[in-house]
Amino acid sequence: MRQDAGTGKGGARSGLNIVMLGPPGAGKGTQAERLAQKRQWPRISTGDILREAVQQGVSIGEVARLAMDAGRLVSDDVMICIVEERLNRPDARTGFVLDGFPRTVEQAAALDRMVDGRGPLVVLDVVVPEDVLVRRLATRRICAQCGSNAAVNWTTACEKCGGKLVARVDDGDDIVRERLKVYQRQSKPLVDYYSTRGTLRSIDGNQPADVVTAAVDAAIEGAAAAGGVGL
Ligand code: AP5
């Protein structure tokens, strides 16, 4: 393990710090939400943070919207700043689930600096064939109000808040093709970046969601045992 397992700076007990890697539609958000709920760790989704900024009309929102609507990445300096601020909040000091960050090697290097002295960084790479990703994104519906992914049995309205179900703006055919290209070019190299460490786990994401969740749990338990971290 790269970080000292178990204790953080000042001797505070640290939990696991989880990173979900994988292409658009792999199920990172679905699994990150389940994991965060089960372990009581904050889920930090950079996609959700950016969509919120767009909705609220704050200054980075407009820059983010232009990149997201084109299927490109928001710049590293903006993303690093957002995540650094978020990871410094008290609820993230003893473990977190990062969904959508890092997406470039530069972001990964910055994350290493941010978690220096904290608990181990466990990286889960969710693997799904491209044709399955394209199908999932073409049929995905989200709640226009709270942003939740709609489950297949939600037909007209969000079960959580009653909001209208809509397609995500960046799930259009052309944008999805661009997002997949960007993933291959800028994010796939992260698998190599992390592969020399003992804490990268590959997860088969092309299975029913509950089976994927069980694989994620097993990977977390294994990483915790290897790092001497209690869950
Ligand atoms: P973000 O929102 O992070 O999008 P993404 O990475 O493209 O991922 P998705 O949300 O599309 O998919 P997912 O893997 O989370 O799958 P999900 O669980 O939703 O980022 C959006 C944009 O923001 C980026 O394009 C970029 O512009 C910008 N951005 C964000 N972070 C950035 C960063 N760090 N740097 C720069 N720019 C950044 O599932 C997808 C669908 O499949 C759902 O319908 C779900 O119900 C279904 N599903 C899930 N699991 C299964 C399963 N096992 N079987 C069948 N269906 C399943």
The 10s digit of each residue's pLDDT in 174-221 is 999 999 999 999 999 999 999 998 889 999 999 999 999 999 999 999
Question: pTM (2 decimals)?
Answer: 0.93
Say if CB 5 and CB 227 are below 8 A apart.
Answer: yes
Kind plus residue range of the DSSP H or E element containing 19: strand 17-21
Q: Is the CB of 187 under 6 A from ligand 1?
A: no
Ramachandran sector of residue 15 (left: φ over 0; alpha: ψ -120 to 50; beta: rest): beta
What is the per-residue pLDDT for 152?
A: 67
What is the per-residue pLDDT for 150?
A: 87
Q: Is the CB of 140 under 6 A from ligand 1?
A: yes
Say if CB 73 and CB 179 are below 8 A apart.
Answer: no
Residue 228 alpha carbon to ligand 1 centre in Å:
31
Please give the positions annotated as active site. 28, 103, 140, 168, 179
Dihedral sign from CA coordinates of 18, 19, 21, 24: positive
What is the per-residue pLDDT for 224?
A: 86
Q: How far apart are CA 36 and CA 213, in angstroms?
A: 12
Residues of the chain with pLDDT under 70: 1-14, 152-154
Q: Which atom of ligand 1 is nearest to the CA of 209?
A: 53
Question: Nearest residue CA, atom 49 of ligand 1?
Answer: 27
